[in-house]
Amino acid sequence: MPTFHERRTEQLRHRLTARALSALPEPESWLDVDTGDGRFPEAARKHFPYTSFDGLDPTDGLERALAADRIEEAYRGRLTTPGLTDRLRSRYDVVTILRPPSDAPDAELRAALAVLRPGGHVVLHRGWARIAAGTPSCTVLPPTWRLPFLGHPGPAPGGAVPYPRSTIACPATTSSTCSHSAPNAAFSRPSSSR
């Protein structure tokens, strides 16, 4: 059972991640992987009120998220559950995986990209950086911020201090690669040519 401070820190992290994503155009559909009881979709809905949020999770938290109207559709299992990727193929504009990689990260990342519509975004926890470096294209979210009242380092001008950065290497449009620094990264599926 998480402590009060762990729950508050998670809520703050969800709010900051949702706010960082608010620079994106409002998506029609969004899949939150390992949604638990749907706290991230609840936070993101404040920035994306017209988006349909669905949840994927192997635990009973999924039913609580559905009962509390934090998600519209619930899928029991993992992205790599046989048949699930085919069922959800090209259905989502955004997929969030806000936890460190699983035991089969390559398969999970391929599955996340498969359920995206062309031009969609996969938003990953910073622990995915070295695994996701080979994805077709990526953009990097602006840094989120540490708040001094949570015991993080003291304030910089403006009252906030950026999280320690992790390097995200992403293929550029040419043969060279570019590197960015951010705590989370949004990886885009290339738009199909018309």
| CATH 3.40.50.920 corresponds to the domain 4-144+184-188 | no
User: Is there a contact between 150 and 189 (Cβ–Cβ < 8 Å)?
Assistant: no
Helix (H, G, I), strand (E, B) or coil at 180: strand
CB atoms within 10 A of CB 23: 11
Q: What pLDDT, on a 0 to 100 scale, did the predictor assign at position 130?
A: 58
Q: What pLDDT, on a 0 to 100 scale, did the predictor assign at position 10?
A: 82
Average pLDDT, 10 consecutive residues per value, the chain (194 residues): 82 82 87 94 93 96 95 95 94 87 81 88 72 50 41 40 30 26 42 46
pTM strictly above 0.85: no
Rounded-to-integer distance, Cα 98 and Cα 40, Å: 9
User: Is there a contact between 159 and 146 (Cβ–Cβ < 8 Å)?
Assistant: no
Q: What pLDDT, on a 0 to 100 scale, did the predictor assign at position 69?
A: 97
DSSP 32-95: EET-TTTHHHHHHHTT-TTPEEEEEESSTHHHHHHHTTS-SEEEES-TTSTTHHHHHTT-EEEE
Buried/exposed 4-18: b ≥16 CB within 10 Å, e otherwise: eeeeeebebbbbbbb
DSSP letter assigned to residue 135: S
Q: What pLDDT, on a 0 to 100 scale, did the predictor assign at position 127?
A: 66
Q: What pLDDT, on a 0 to 100 scale, did the predictor assign at position 134?
A: 54
Q: What pLDDT, on a 0 to 100 scale, did the predictor assign at position 133?
A: 54
CB atoms within 10 A of CB 133: 17
CB atoms within 10 A of CB 98: 18
